[in-house]
Amino acid sequence: MEFLTPDKTHDESRQGEALVLEPVEKNNGRKLYIESYGCAMNFSDSEIVASILAEKGFETTSDYNNADVVFINTCSIRENAETRVRNRLKEFAGAKGKNPGMVVGVLGCMAERLKSKFLEEEKLVDVVVGPDAYRDLPNLIDRVDEGQRAVNVLLSREETYADISPVRLNSNGINAFVSIMRGCDNMCSFCVVPFTRGRERSRDPHSIVAECQDLFDKGYREVTLLGQNVDSYKWNASQLADGSEQSAEDLGEAADVVNFANLLEMVALIHPDLRVRFSTSHPKDITDEVLYTIAKYDNICNYIHLPVQSGNSRILELMNRTYDRAWYMERVDAIRRIIPDCAISTDIITGFCTETEEEHNDTLTMMDYVQYDYAYMFMYSERPGTLAAKRYADDIPEPIKAMRLKQVVAKQQQYSYVRLQQHLGRVERVLIEGYSKKSDKDYCGRNDKNAMVVFPVQEGYKPGQYANVLVERCTTATLIGKII
């Protein structure tokens, strides 16, 4: 098992969901099918793509067989993510056989990584579009209609799609992702993201706050601010695209530089009933200022995703994570000190190049130190073009990577359960998200620390409202209780 998946934000197992929106009025008669793989950022991008094409009159469909345009928004993070996409493309071939006019497009990180090579490798594909080129989609589709194959994989230093209001696909009307930055300037040696997503850039805070306010006005009660490294969010007034200056007054309390702590505060101030989550934090960048801001506002959730990757300083250095074991522990201590009741989750890679048994043990003891609430755990997968692929041999045999992963997963299961049990007997404020998977006699929702809570439906309570739930029992992944 590769994943423990308590929340959707980092849940890369949410693979291949078809995303559908309500039909728009100015229909051009064409139907779009879009399927997403990878991280929350990709799912959020698909909503931008749907919005760009909705403007051109496309409506979405959940059945690719009757779609005019079939898009697959792809992930390159590990080899198996790419394999999954290639297999899926084979399935689309049948549909295209029956409907030769169908446009098949590959979007996202794999498109960016493979560029026009994709057209050579996959005869079925008509369009290849990288993450910064989605505004060009209507034009690229036109080119395909004219009988060409089209590629746009230009990366941008500015594009944040700030002005595009994403259509919410498959939404429950309660939780939404809001992208606050794009790209990544860290060069973790194992990671393909800097190559597929380009340079880091932050989105105008005005447009972020406006989007969150709009979501709140429409009844949404939780936003998750997304970026590969949210702690390095930084907006300068001088960044305005039209060259005009933005005054400190315009930005409310913030000065003409807005950092992540300032942004969190601006979003938290929209309304106390709007929950604010964020992902991902980088251990080298998460500041005490951010921690104090989380502690100050009840509606900023006490939950931090702080990927450690490895508990060993030598491996961290090879990974180019730019912190060591002691630094990471100090950041965890700071979280515990400033936000005493804060859930922490992490990402872990097993079997990175040259990792010894002792070094792997350091990861296990790090897990004992932090006692993570959740973890996403992976075997190292060499990605072409990354620093690690160039510099180090992928020399840990697969069975050893797998055995180490198994140990890490077993330990995490133990701590996830320990953490859940700590909720027993407590009253938790839960945002009701809908009926539980198993029964429409039960509601489900999350507490502030992102744990799933299931409890009997009670009159007077609806999805989108908060309920105070007394936690009475738990399974290995879920808290169970009743509204009080």
Cβ–Cβ under 8 Å, residues 359 and 383: no
Q: Is 280 in the site for ligand SAH (CB under 6 A)?
A: yes
| Upstream peptide bond of 475 is cis (omega within 30 degrees of 0) | no
Report, in Å, the least distance between residue 197 CB and ligand F3S: 5
Place of tokens 């498109």: 111
| Binding segment (CB under 6 A) for ligand SAH, from list 56-64, 357-365, 374-382, 400-408 | 374-382
Task: Pick out residues in 145-184 that bind ligand SF4 (CB under 6 A).
Answer: 184
Q: Is 50 in the site for ligand F3S (CB under 6 A)?
A: no
Indicate the SS3 state at residue 374. strand
Q: Is 349 in the site for ligand F3S (CB under 6 A)?
A: no
41 interface partner picked from ligand SF4, ligand F3S, ligand SAH, none, CB below 5 to 8 A per type: ligand F3S
Pick from 182, 275, 282, 411 the residue near ligand SF4 by CB under 6 A.
Answer: 282
Q: Is 381 in the site for ligand SAH (CB under 6 A)?
A: yes
Q: Is 380 in the site for ligand SAH (CB under 6 A)?
A: yes
* Two tokens, residue 62: 């959940």
Report the alpha-carbon distance of residue 77 to residue 88 in Å, rounded: 17
Cβ–Cβ under 8 Å, residues 103 and 69: yes
Report, in Å, the least distance between residue 163 CB and ligand SF4: 25
- Over the window 108 to 147, marking each residue x when it contacts ligand F3S by CB under 6 A and - when it does not, the resulting string is xx--------------------------------------
Report, in Å, the least distance between residue 199 CB and ligand SF4: 11
| Upstream peptide bond of 83 is cis (omega within 30 degrees of 0) | no
Q: Is 229 in the site for ligand SF4 (CB under 6 A)?
A: yes
183 interface partner picked from ligand SF4, ligand F3S, ligand SAH, none, CB below 5 to 8 A per type: none
Task: Look at the alpha carbons of 129, 134, 137, 140 in this order and tell me if their dihedral is positive or negative.
Answer: negative
Dihedral in degrees, nearest 10, Cα atoms 18, 19, 25, 31: -30
Place of tokens 């001088």: 238
* Two tokens, residue 436: 């539980």
For the purposes of burial, counting CB atoms within 10 Å of the CB of 371, is it exposed (0-12), middle (13-18) or buried (19 or more)? middle
| Amino acid letter for position 389 | A
Indicate the SS3 state at residue 43. helix
- Over the window 394 to 433, marking each residue x when it contacts ligand SAH by CB under 6 A and - when it does not, the resulting string is ----------------------------------------
Pick from 6, 38, 227, 481 the residue near ligand F3S by CB under 6 A.
Answer: 38
Task: Pick out residues in 170-209 that bind ligand SAH (CB under 6 A).
Answer: 190-191, 193
Indicate the SS3 state at residue 454. strand
Pick from 40, 104, 178, 191 the residue near ligand SF4 by CB under 6 A.
Answer: 191
194 interface partner picked from ligand SF4, ligand F3S, ligand SAH, none, CB below 5 to 8 A per type: ligand SF4
Task: Pick out residues in 200-259 that bind ligand SAH (CB under 6 A).
Answer: 228-229
Q: Tally the C-alpha atoms within 13 A of residue 39's C-alpha that lie toward its C-beta.
A: 22
Q: Tally the C-alpha atoms within 13 A of residue 269's C-alpha that lie toward its C-beta.
A: 14
Residue 249 Cα to chain centre, angstroms: 32
> 201 pairs with which residues across the strands?
182
381 interface partner picked from ligand SF4, ligand F3S, ligand SAH, none, CB below 5 to 8 A per type: ligand SAH
Q: Is 349 in the site for ligand SF4 (CB under 6 A)?
A: no
Q: Which long-range contacts (CB under 8 A, 24 or more apart) does 441-447 make?
A: 443/467, 446/7, 447/423, 447/479
Q: Where along the sequence are the contacts to ligand F3S (CB under 6 A)?
A: 38-39, 41-42, 75-77, 108-109, 192-193, 196-197
Q: Which residues bind ligand SAH (CB under 6 A)?
A: 77-78, 190-191, 193, 228-229, 280, 282, 307, 309, 347, 349, 378, 380-381, 383
